[in-house]
Amino acid sequence: MNSRELLKTIHSRRSVRVYKTGKVTDEQLERILEAARWAPSGANSQPWEFIVTRDKKKMKKVREIYLNEWKQRKLEDPVHYKGLKKDYVGDVSVLVLICGDPRTMQVYLTTRQPADREKLFQASVANAVEHMMLMAASERLGTVWVSVREEVEAELRMLFGVPQPLRLLWVVPIGPARLWPRPRRRRELSAFVHWECYDPNKLRKSKEIRAWPK
């Protein structure tokens, strides 16, 4: 793959929330996981752990867990809560739970502050997820980040036997997309690239910080 083909794959990646019946083959899944294996990580600590399931009963349970959380949050704030339902976590070929082992932070020998260690840890695991998503996109498979919030973590841990001290960070569904979303606008390079020093004229006003574009 040359640089243009790589950029084309990056452009094609989407957050897919509508899936269709179809299989992610074992060969495709292995390539997706292999891509994650080669992600960069702080001190080459490789803090990621993946739990992969094709079990439809477990996926149905995951959907129920997220639906119950949605109902509770909607009940607490029926007017302002705009969270999306995550029914798609039960409709895919593969579901991957993304875990990280925080004990790996102890090998960051040059990073002394806890907050800096945490940033490096989170970024390392996120790098692996991004590699997975780009490989999936190259296979024309959809993926999406699904956060594991406090409200759902305990049930997901129990369902998949996630031990302490591992952190359960995200859930990533993988499957053929029923609907491949159109690309959303991106900020122009000139809006956020600064040469030599920060250009204060590009600093956005607080009211301009919003989902892009709204």
Q: Where residue 80 sits, what CATH number does that domain have? A: 3.40.109.10
Helices 114-138 and 3-12, packing angle to 10 deg: 100
pLDDT at 214 over 70: no
- Averaged pLDDT for residues 4-12: 95
Q: Is residue 191 part of a domain?
A: no
Q: Is residue 103 part of a domain?
A: yes
Determine contact, residues 149/69, Cβ cutoff 8 Å: yes
Q: Is residue 162 part of a domain?
A: yes
What pLDDT shows up at residue 210? Answer: 78
What pLDDT shows up at residue 208? Answer: 85
Closest CA to 162 of 72, 97, 76: 97
Closest CA to 173 of 61, 103, 83, 93: 93
- Averaged pLDDT for residues 84-99: 96
Q: How far apart are alpha carbons 133 and 171 in whole angstroms?
A: 12
181 vs 111 pLDDT, higher one: 181
Q: Is residue 159 part of a domain?
A: yes
Number of domains in the chain: 1
Q: Is residue 194 part of a domain?
A: no
pLDDT digits (tens, 9 = 90+) for 101-148: 999 999 998 888 999 999 999 999 999 999 999 999 999 999 999 999
DSSP H or E run through 32: helix 26-37
What pLDDT shows up at residue 212? Answer: 56
- Averaged pLDDT for residues 157-186: 96
What pLDDT shows up at residue 111? Answer: 83
Cis upstream peptide for 183 (omega within 30°): no
- Averaged pLDDT for residues 35-62: 98
Q: Which pTM does this prediction carry?
A: 0.94
109 vs 199 pLDDT, higher one: 199
Q: Is residue 205 part of a domain?
A: no
Q: What DSSP line would sit under 62-87, residue for residue?
A: HHHHHHHHHHHHHHH-TTT--PPP-G
- Averaged pLDDT for residues 47-57: 98
What pLDDT shows up at residue 32? Answer: 98
What pLDDT shows up at residue 87? Answer: 95
Residue type for position 41? S
Q: Which range of residues forms the domain containing residue 142?
A: 3-184
CA atoms within 13 A on the CB side of 85: 10
Q: Is residue 88 part of a domain?
A: yes
Q: How far apart are alpha carbons 27 and 97 in whole angstroms?
A: 19
Q: How far apart are alpha carbons 197 and 195 in whole angstroms?
A: 6
- Averaged pLDDT for residues 179-189: 91
Q: Is residue 196 part of a domain?
A: no
